[in-house]
Amino acid sequence: MTTPTSASSPFRRPAAMTARRPEDLIAAAPVVLGFWPERSVVLMTFGARHPFHARIDIPPDAACDIGVCRDLERTLLEPAVRHGATHVIVLYFTDEPTAAEAVHRSLRRACRRSGLVLLTALLAEATHYRDLEHPDPAARSHRRPYDVTAHPFVVDAIVSGRLAHRSRDDLVASLDTDPAAAAAVAEALVAGRFADEGMPTSGRAIRDAGEWVLALVRRLIAAGDLPGDGDLARLLWVVQATRVRDAAWSHLGRHNAEDHVRLWTDAVRRAPEPLVAAPAA
């Protein structure tokens, strides 16, 4: 999930993360998510052609019934199976261990039914963690201290700008619309008369728009730049067409993923409300 360093990138690429201890897995979670998980189940998948990591809220203890656990199973594991994952790791970040244990019992059974190998599962409270899959059942209740604030994974992510958010709420706030920037792009939309042309729908229009979008994205990524108001206005208008948006994303790869995140995050923050959906997809 990491890539070589690119001299043109404004970000330093992360070194590959190799987890050898439980603390390494706990430290890896905020790095792959981009924020420090709280009250969360974090699923890491392995074995698929395109492995992915997912997060979902842990339900409160009082609401952790069979139906809620089944919904959580489907939300996390069905995509893992669909994408061809063979092995998973589950991390629970919570100060309600009873709820995490109930969820884990449900997920463990669901992994077996789905044919997924559960490599390990850790329950991480604020200062201690437990190994819920320890070979010795008696050891699963043993709380071990941990502190990953200075862990090499975390330090590298902070220094390189990949871990800038203390919580998921902070991450969501980073995508809030910038009203002044959105107003400037809205003016550029009117000035460019893009609505008069309509969205690209014919084969030729889609091809022309796709070629323009791909050229723009390549240029911006190579230079480490962000689009001006005029280019962003046109980009937001034409990527409403799914096939044009696919052309923009065809340039996305592991070697430039962070640059694309920067580009599309900026697009979301500057997009007028009616045009937010496509860049945020």
125 with 34, same domain: the answer is yes
- CA-only gyration radius of the chain, Å: 22
Which range among 46-50, 93-97, 168-172, 193-197 shows the weakest confidence by mean pLDDT?
168-172
Helices (H), the chain: 22-33, 66-82, 97-114, 152-159, 168-173, 179-192, 194-197, 203-223, 229-238, 242-249, 257-270, 277-280
What's the average model confidence in pLDDT over 94-113? Answer: 94
In a domain, 1, yes or no: no
In a domain, 12, yes or no: no
249 with 272, same domain: the answer is yes
Q: Final residue of a domain: which of 109, 142, 166?
A: 166
31 with 128, same domain: the answer is yes
33 with 71, same domain: the answer is yes
128 with 187, same domain: the answer is no
133 with 220, same domain: the answer is no
Q: What is the pTM of this model?
A: 0.57
Q: Which domain holds residue 250?
A: 179-280
Strand pairing class (128-131; 87-93): unpaired
Per-residue pLDDT, 254:
62
Whether 76 shows a pLDDT value over 60: the answer reads yes
Among 92, 271, 77, 52, smallest CA distance to 183 is for 271
Q: Give the chain's domain count.
A: 2
Whether 11 shows a pLDDT value over 70: the answer reads no
141 with 208, same domain: the answer is no
149 with 216, same domain: the answer is no
Whether 25 shows a pLDDT value over 60: the answer reads yes
Whether 7 shows a pLDDT value over 50: the answer reads no
In a domain, 11, yes or no: no
132 with 214, same domain: the answer is no
120 with 245, same domain: the answer is no
In a domain, 266, yes or no: yes
Per-residue pLDDT, 1:
29
Place of tokens 């044919």: 115
In a domain, 116, yes or no: yes
pLDDT digit string, tens, across residues 224-272? 999 999 999 999 999 998 888 888 878 877 677 778 878 888 898 899 9
Domain CATH code at residue 126: 3.40.140
62 with 186, same domain: the answer is no
Per-residue pLDDT, 164:
58
pLDDT digit string, tens, across residues 210-228? 999 999 999 999 999 999 9
pLDDT digit string, tens, across residues 141-151? 999 999 988 88
Helices (H), 45-167: 66-82, 97-114, 152-159
Dihedral sign from CA coordinates of 145, 149, 153, 154: positive
120 with 221, same domain: the answer is no
In a domain, 211, yes or no: yes
In a domain, 112, yes or no: yes
Per-residue pLDDT, 246:
84
In a domain, 13, yes or no: no
Per-residue pLDDT, 247:
83
Kindly indicate the confidence band of residue 157, based on its pLDDT and cuts at 50, 70 and 90: confident
Q: Final residue of a domain: which of 166, 199, 214?
A: 166
Q: Final residue of a domain: which of 166, 199, 228?
A: 166
